[in-house]
Structure 1
Amino acid sequence: MEDVRRGVEQRRFLRGMVFPESAVVERLYGLSEVEVRSVIRRLRDEDLLQLHDDYQETYFIDVGRGIPSRESTDPGLAAQVADLTARLQQLSSRVQNLESMVLGRGDG
């Protein structure tokens, strides 16, 4: 549990990442199946793991209630997202212009 908690705090585990299968966790940490289920239950109780409804026994990392999310407060990350958004809008505009040119020439 502490490894997952530290991983979320240190951003080694980010929101949305898939948590390893139980068998993998058993091998990595030398735990029994019962111990892994107990840890998963406790991580879910702390909102560090979310069970995805479409996939049985597939858990996704969440930031949890007691752990601050750095995703929204990291100014470098926010600037990168803003830059990528602007670039995407520029590319989208260029693609639309190219499509208009190609479609306009094909009609004539």
Structure 2
Amino acid sequence: MPKVSEVCRHVRSKNAGPFWITVDLSFPDRESFERYAGAQALQPAAIGTLFDVDGSQVKCFQIADLSVVKISYPRRRPQGGALERDMHGGQQYIRLLDVELD
């Protein structure tokens, strides 16, 4: 099975406020988007397990016109907190790169 890093053109993460992170998965074309955007590994429960958050709070948006999947999930620690280690959320996407898409 192909991995996210093999299928997506761009994968990035960023802040979505002090309590949320958003990850964007950009697919290279409509065909790839249609094939993989609904993959089980990109569903809220799987994302919750991957990022150690409650899957019921994970939000996934498929934007077909842009061939993009946006995934938002709550931070485990608020931005800027004493134990928070990625102030801008820019390193969170790395966990997704080796996820296999079915």
Q: Same fold (TM over 0.5)?
A: no
More helix by share: 1
More strand by share: 2
Q: TM-score, normalised by structure 2?
A: 0.29
User: Which has the higher Rg, Structure 1 or Structure 2?
Assistant: 1
